[in-house]
Amino acid sequence: MKIPSTRLGVLGGGQLGKMMALAAGNWHLPFFALDTSRDFPAGPFCTGFTEGNFNNYDDVLRFGKTVDALTIEIEHVNIEALFQLEKEGLVIHPKPAALQLIKDKGLQKQFYADRGIPTAAFELFENESAIREAVAQKKWTLPFVQKSRTDGYDGRGVSVIRTERDLAEKLLPGACLLEALVPIEKEIAVVVARNSRGETAAFPPVEMLFDPDANLVTFLACPARISPQIAAAAEALARKTIETYDLCGLLAVELFLTTEHQLLVNEVAPRPHNSGHHTIESCYTSQFEQHIRGVLDLPLGSTRLKVPAAVMLNLLGEPGYEGPAIYENMDQCLGMEGVYVHLYGKAMTKPFRKMGHVTVLGVTPEAAMEKALEVRALLKVKA
């Protein structure tokens, strides 16, 4: 694909689309987005913004015909339109067939089981009563994790069932899967890239640290505090996973490192990912540029860290505030060395809404984490 003339389109105009557009801007690539409102984060940064619904067959089909290559920033898009565009010869990454598997957590898990990719034991269920029956028949014993097959994100389609009471009150409705509750030592993620000529490149593993209240990742540290052997195994597993899916562009692979030091694939996202945001400042190539390289079959960039350590924190809407967003103590944070604030331009804040992120670079992992804690205590999104 030719630079700078290839027209690249993305389904979705959120913050991932915005950061992709900014990366495309380095090469002056014409960049187009489809989403319901040009007031969304990507709006001001695209060459063209089409207002439409990425879940609507006609909107996606029409948009696809205006670009030379098409990608996504969100999995929940109209897949039938993508199959049609693929048939007509459009370059689409991730490939619709792989996207279809990934969109449905049930199919995704089945894919790992069929293809020898390690993942937690699971079973598919039609609904809640089938689960209660399986428990009554002692086919499943507490505790376990229930996940909706579709439409879950940011932890919203996940319910941990520990007690009889949870079984009565916390089951999610609809088609789902049950998964064994994994004894997790660490959660890590590897963002890996691939292009059509078959090259792969993995970013160093990152360690995800969770806020138990929001059920969102709050800190993300790179490099992960794991042994070189485990890091190499995690990267190898990520490469195997992207090759098995036959995907181009990025695949973010979320992994559990168990207390027995086993690596299990939890879930994947075939696009830029929260766990790769730090690469904008910390690595030779950002994940967003790498995604474009993979989608357009360009040589992949170096994934090496430029600094000893980076910590990323999500900037979430402060609990208790809802309305037009105000950023408290912005000045102070901008004055700190190695602190990079990214705002997504969302006009309205609400509790735990992802309003931006901050990457903190450090000469040691401890120094980066210490500064990240300072930033978290200072920078607040209120209304």
Ligand X SMILES: Nc1ncnc2c1ncn2[C@@H]1O[C@H](COP(=O)(O)OP(=O)(O)OP(=O)(O)O)[C@@H](O)[C@H]1O
* Contact set with ligand X (CB under 6 A): 120, 145, 147, 152-158, 179, 181-182, 184, 187, 210, 254, 266-267
Smallest distance from Mg ion to CB 269, Å: 8
For the bound state, the minimum distance from the C-beta of residue 198 to ligand X, rounded and expressed in Å, comes to 28
Question: Which of ligand X, Mg ion, none is residue 155 near (CB under 5 to 8 Å by kind)?
Answer: ligand X
Site for Mg ion in 16-55 (CB under 5 A): none
Nearer to Mg ion, 75 or 254 (CB): 254
Is the sign of the CA dihedral 140, 141, 144, 148 positive or negative? Answer: positive
Shortest CB 194 distance to ligand X, Å: 21
Q: Rounded to the nearest whole angstrom, what is the least distance from the CB of residue 176 to Mg ion in the complex?
A: 16
Whether the link from the prior residue into 228 is cis, omega within 30° of 0, is no
166 binds, among Mg ion, ligand X, none (CB under 5 to 8 A by kind): none
CA angle at 172 for the pair 167 and 173, rounded to the nearest 5°:
115
Q: Rounded to an integer, what distance in angstroms lies between the CA atom of residue 43 and that of residue 70? A: 17
Cβ proximity to ligand X, 187 vs 297, nearer residue: 187
Give the residue with the Cβ less far from ligand X, 69 or 234.
234
Cα(159)–Cα(128) distance, integer angstroms: 12
User: Starting at the edge strand that comes first in sequence, how are the strands of the sheet with 91-92 ordered?
Assistant: 48-51, 31-35, 8-11, 69-72, 91-92
323 binds, among ligand X, Mg ion, none (CB under 5 to 8 A by kind): none
- Closer residue to Mg ion in complex, CB, 75/289: 75
For ligand X, which is the closer residue by CB, 177 or 300? 177
Whichever of 254 and 281 has its CB closer to ligand X, that residue is 254
* Phi, psi of 6, rounded to the nearest 5 degrees: -65, 130
Cβ at position 110, least distance to ligand X in Å: 15
Length of the chain: 383
Burial of 294 (0-12, 13-18, 19+ CB in 10 A): buried
What is the size of the binding site for Mg ion (CB under 5 A)? 1
Minimum CB separation of residue 24 from ligand X in Å reads 25
Given ligand X, Mg ion, none, residue 374, with its beta carbon under 5 to 8 Å by kind, binds: none
Q: Which residues contact 34 (CB under 8 A, 6 or more apart)?
A: 9, 10, 11, 12, 13, 49, 50, 52, 54, 59, 60, 63
CB 121 to ligand X: min, Å: 9
How far apart CA 359 and CA 379 sit, in angstroms, is: 13
Q: What is the DSSP letter of 276?
A: G
Element (H, E) at 279: helix 279-282
- Partner whose footprint covers residue 181, from Mg ion, ligand X, none (CB < 5 to 8 Å by kind): ligand X
Q: Which is nearer to ligand X, 67 or 188 (CB)?
A: 188
Residue nearest to Mg ion (CB): 254
Q: Which does 107 bind (CB under 5 to 8 A by kind): Mg ion, ligand X, none?
A: none
Burial of 216 (0-12, 13-18, 19+ CB in 10 A): middle
Residues 234-273 that bind Mg ion (CB under 5 A): 254
Choose between 147 and 240: whose C-beta lies nearer to ligand X.
147
CB under 8 A, 24+ apart: contacts of 364-369: 364/308, 364/309, 365/221, 365/223, 365/225, 365/308, 365/309, 365/311, 367/309, 368/221, 368/309, 368/310, 368/311, 368/338, 369/219, 369/221, 369/311
Report the nearest approach of Mg ion to the CB of residue 171 (Å): 20
Residue 84: CB minimum distance to ligand X, A: 28
In DSSP notation, 165-184 reads: HHHHH-PPPSSEEEEE---E
From the list Mg ion, ligand X, none, which binds 153 (C-beta under 5 to 8 Å, kind-based)? Answer: ligand X
> Which of 77/182 has CB closer to ligand X?
182
d(CA 285, CA 25): 14
Chain residue whose CB lies nearest ligand X = 182
List interacting residues with Mg ion (CB under 5 A): 254
